[in-house]
Amino acid sequence: MIWKPNPLALIGLAMMSAPIIAHAKIYISVEQAQKILLPNNALSKTPIIITNDLQDKMRAASSIRHPFQGDRIWRASDGSWLVIDEVVGKHEMITYAVAINPNGSISGIEILEYVESYGYEVAEAQWRKQFIGKTANDPIKLNQDIQNIGGATLSCKHLTDGVKRVAVLYELALKNTSSPSLQTQTIKAK
C-alpha cells in the first residue's frame, strides 16, 4: 500500500505552524510624543476639570461616547498645547497625542498605542498629516476632509472623531486659558 498525504491535512499542518501576526504595538511614550510634537518647549502639566456640560459639547461635536479625561494635558512655553486622548478602535483603545498651536490649529498627531490586529495604518505619517492645520471650525470628518484607509475604517473614524473632540476642547476650554491653572510638572522637551 502506498501512502498518499491528504492535501487538506498538509494545509492544516501548515496553518498550525504559521505564525500569528498581530500588529498590537506601543509606538512611542508620552515623553517621546512631547519631544516630537513640541520640541524645544518647556511643558507644564495642566489638568483641567471636564464638566458634564463640556463633556456633552465635546460628545456632540465628535460623536465619541468614551469620556474624555482632563488629566493628560500639557501647555508649552510658546502657548501650544499637547493633549493625550483615547478612543476605541474596533474593539481596543487607541492612545494618541494631539499638538495644538496657540491659534488653535493642529500642528500634529502621534499614535502612542495601537493594540488592534488590523487598521494599524492609521499610525502612518501620510494619514496623520491630513489633520495638520485643522481647527474646531473645520469638519474633521472621515470621507469629507479626512480620507479613509480601507481595512481600517473604524480606527480612522474614531481617531478622526477623537481629533475633532480635542480641537473642540481647545476652543471651549483651553483657548482662553492665559496661564496654566494647575502646574504640577514641568518637562523640557529636547
Instruction: Specify the number of domains making up the chain.
Output: 1
pLDDT at 186: 44
pLDDT at 114: 95
Q: Which residue has the cell 502612518?
A: 124
Is there a contact between 122 and 152 (Cβ–Cβ < 8 Å)? yes
pLDDT of amino acid 7 = 60
Give domain status of residue 116, yes or no: yes
Contact 45, 52 (CB under 8 A): no
pTM for the whole structure:
0.82
Residue 78 lies in a domain: yes
Helix, coil or strand: residue 130: helix
The answer to whether residue 172 is domain-embedded is yes
What DSSP string runs through 151-166? T-HHHHHHHHHHHHHH
Q: Strand pairing partners for 45?
A: 74
Domain of 79 in residue numbering reads as 22-188
Q: Which stretches of the chain score pLDDT less than 70?
A: 1, 3-24, 178-190
Residue located via cell numbers 495604518: 121
What is residue 133's predicted lDDT score, i.e. its pLDDT?
98
How far apart are alpha carbons 155 and 86 in whole angstroms?
Answer: 11
Q: How far, CA to CA in Å, does 145 sit from each of 62, 112, 135, 139?
A: 14, 23, 12, 7
Does a structural domain hold residue 60? yes
Residues in CB range of 57: below 8 A, 6 or more apart: 168, 172
Q: In 107-134, which positions are buried (b, 16+ CB within 10 angstroms) versus exposed (e)?
A: bbbbbbbbbbeebbbbbeeebbebbeeb
Instruction: Name the DSSP class of 120.
Output: G
- What pairing do the DSSP bridges indicate for beta strands 42-45 and 73-76? antiparallel
pLDDT at 177: 82
* pLDDT reported for residue 46: 96
Query: Per the domain annotation, does 150 fall within a domain?
Result: yes
Say what the pLDDT of residue 117 is. Answer: 86
